[in-house]
A and B are shown apart, each in its own frame.
Chain A
Amino acid sequence: MLDAFLSAGGLVFQPAVLLAMALALPIGIVVGLLPGLSGITALAFLIPFTFGMDPLVGLAFLLASYAAVSQGGSITAIVLGVPGEVPNAATVIDGYPLAKQGRAGYAIGGALMASALGGLFGCVVLAVLLPVMQPVILSFASPENFFLSLAGVAFIAVLSASAPVRGLIAGALGIFLSLFGYDPVDGVPRFWMGSDYMLDGFRLVPLAMGLFAIPEILALMSSGKSIAQPGRLEPISFGQVVEGGLAVFKHLGIFFRSSAIGTVIGIMPGVGGATAPFVAYAAARQTAKNPETFGQGRIEGVIAPEASSNAKEGGALVPTLALGIPGSSSMAMLLGAFLILGLQPGPEFLKKHMDIAIALAWICALANVASSALMFLLSKALIYITRVPGHVLAPILLALVVIGTYSADNNVNDVWFIFIFGALGVAMERLNYNRPALLLGFVLGETIERNFQISMKAYGPAFVLRPISIAIIVLALAFLLWPNRRRLTLLWRRA
Chain B
Amino acid sequence: MSRAEVIFPSLLFAVVASLLAAGFFVFHHSWTVIAFPFGAGLVVCALCLVDIAMSLSGRRAAPSATDMPLETLSPSSLIWAFALALFVYALGFVFGPAAYLLAYLRATGSSWRLSVGVAAASLLVTWVLFIKLLRILLPFEPLWWPW
Q: What is the interface of chain A, defined by CB distance below 8 A to chain B?
A: 30-31, 37, 41, 45, 97, 100, 162-163, 165-166, 168-169, 172-173, 175-176, 179, 183, 186, 188, 190-192, 214, 217-219, 221-224, 292-293, 296, 391-392, 394-396, 398-400, 402-403, 406-407, 410, 412, 415-416, 419, 422, 426-427, 429-433, 445, 449, 452-453
Contact = CB atoms under 8 A, between A and B. Distances in A.
B91 interface: no
B77 A449 contact: no
Given A165-B54, A392-B114, A415 B67 contact: no
B82 interface: yes
Interface of B: 4-5, 8-9, 12, 16, 19, 22-23, 27, 29-30, 32-34, 36-37, 40-41, 43-44, 47-48, 50-51, 54, 60-61, 63-64, 66-68, 70-74, 77-78, 80-82, 84-85, 88, 93, 97, 100-101, 104-105, 108-110, 114, 118, 122, 125-126, 129-130, 134-139, 143
Nearest to A423: B78
B41 A176 contact: yes
Contacts of A191: 19, 22-23, 27, 37
B45 to A, nearest CB: 9
B13 to A, nearest CB: 10
Contacts of A416: 85
A430 B71 CA distance: 10
Nearest to A184: B36
A219 B78 CA distance: 10
Contact of A399 (B32, B70, B97, B129): B97
Given A293-B66, A407-B136, A163 B61 contact: yes
The 5 closest A-B pairs by CB, nearest first: A221-B77, A399-B97, A219-B71, A179-B37, A222-B77
Contacts of A391: 105, 108-110
A373 to B, nearest CB: 24
Contacts of A224: 108
B82 to A, nearest CB: 6
B84 A398 contact: yes
A487 B104 CA distance: 56
B4 A430 contact: yes
Contacts of B110: 391-392
A426 B33 contact: no
B137 to A, nearest CB: 6
Given A218-B73, A392-B114, A410 B136 contact: yes
Q: Could you tell me the dominant secondary structure of chain B's interface residues?
A: helix
A415 B33 contact: no
Nearest to A214: B81
A406 B93 contact: yes
A168 B40 CA distance: 11
Q: Could you tell me the dominant secondary structure of chain A's interface residues?
A: helix
A217 B68 contact: no
Contacts of A432: 63
Nearest to A192: B27
A414 to B, nearest CB: 12
B37 A176 contact: yes
A398 B81 contact: yes
B12 A403 contact: no
Given A100-B68, A190-B33, A410-B137, 10 more contacts: A214-B81, A391-B105, A395-B100, A399-B100, A403-B97, A403-B130, A419-B81, A419-B85, A431-B4, A452-B36
Nearest to B114: A392
A399 B91 CA distance: 13
Contacts of B19: 191
Contacts of B23: 190-191
Contacts of B82: 419
A172 B74 contact: no
A38 to B, nearest CB: 12
Given A176-B41, A190-B33, A416-B85, A219 B70 contact: yes
A219 B37 CA distance: 34
A192 B34 CA distance: 13
B81 A183 contact: no
B26 to A, nearest CB: 9
Contacts of A172: 40, 43-44, 47
A395 B82 CA distance: 11
A392 B81 contact: no
B84 A402 contact: yes
Given A392-B105, A396-B101, A431-B8, A218 B93 contact: no
Given A188-B33, A406-B93, A407-B130, A415 B88 contact: yes
A422 B19 CA distance: 21
Contact of A453 (B36, B68, B125, B143): B36
Contact of A427 (B8, B34, B108, B135): B8
Contact of A218 (B44, B78, B126): B78
Nearest to A426: B73
Residue among A188, A398, A429 with most chain B CB within 10 A:
A398
Contact of B60 (A163, A169, A183, A395): A163
Contact of B47 (A165, A179, A394): A165
A397 B69 CA distance: 22
A37 B26 CA distance: 37
Contacts of B37: 176, 179, 190-191
Nearest to A41: B134
Contacts of B100: 395, 399
A484 to B, nearest CB: 15
A219 B68 CA distance: 13
A445 B101 CA distance: 37
